[in-house]
């Protein structure tokens, strides 16, 4: 098997993003239906926003159920709140980018989900499944992994295929 040069790989990546997704990745202006590959991505982004707005609000305003789940409002809790707020803002921006058919929306969404999946799974290892936040994190991980699998599948790739 011939080794691919970086130029060959760059061309294939450009082809995937520009041809497959730029024209097919978001809301179709004619019928306002989401295309197969990115609908799950946008749905998972909307889920991020829907979950995190009340979480961030609850943390900032000291809602009792948030204090039970995450502890008192300490510097560490405020740092977590800023991370959650950042994910909320980035998720919202990415939804808009998908709607505006911006090609960078797809790789940026994949990058965000990769970070979220990683930290949420590490949280399971460190905290365990007794905490309601961790259980919610596992639910979000499942949704995001399914969205990424559906994206990969829409590109004509098998889930475990390494070919471009």
Q: Which of 92, 14, 8 is nearest to 49 (CA)?
A: 92
Over residues 101-105, mean pLDDT = 86
The confidence band for 90, taking pLDDT boundaries of 50, 70 and 90, is: very high
CA 86 to the chain's CA centroid: 13
What share of the chain has pLDDT > 90, as a percent?
47
Higher pLDDT, 136 or 5: 136
pLDDT value of position 97: 94
pTM for this one?
0.75
pLDDT at 84 over 90: yes
Condensed to tens digits (0 to 9), the pLDDT of residues 3-43 reads 555 555 455 444 444 544 444 444 444 333 456 678 999 99
109-136: burial string, b at 16+ Cβ within 10 Å, e else: beebbeebbeebeebeeeeeeeeeebee
Arithmetic mean of pLDDT over the chain:
80
Separation between Cα atoms, residue 102 and residue 162, nearest integer Å: 26
Over residues 153-158, mean pLDDT = 72
pLDDT at 66 over 60: yes
């Amino acid at each position: 098997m011939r080794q691919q040069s970086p130029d060959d790989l760059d061309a294939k990546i450009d082809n995937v993003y520009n041809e497959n997704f730029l024209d097919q990745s978001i809301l179709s202006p004619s019928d306002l239906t989401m295309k197969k590959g990115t609908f799950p991505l946008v749905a998972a982004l909307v889920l991020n926003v829907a979950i995190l707005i009340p979480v961030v609000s609850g943390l900032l305003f000291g809602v009792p159920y948030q204090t039970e789940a995450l502890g008192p409002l300490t510097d560490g809790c405020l740092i977590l709140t800023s991370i959650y707020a950042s994910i909320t803002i980035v998720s919202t921006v990415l939804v808009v980018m998908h709607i505006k058919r911006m090609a960078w929306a797809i790789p940026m969404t994949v990058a965000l989900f990769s970070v979220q999946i990683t930290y949420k799974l590490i949280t399971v290892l460190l905290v365990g499944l007794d905490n309601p936040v961790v259980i919610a994190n596992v639910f979000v991980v499942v949704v995001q992994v399914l969205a990424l699998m559906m994206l990969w599948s829409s590109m004509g790739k098998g889930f475990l295929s390494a070919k471009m």
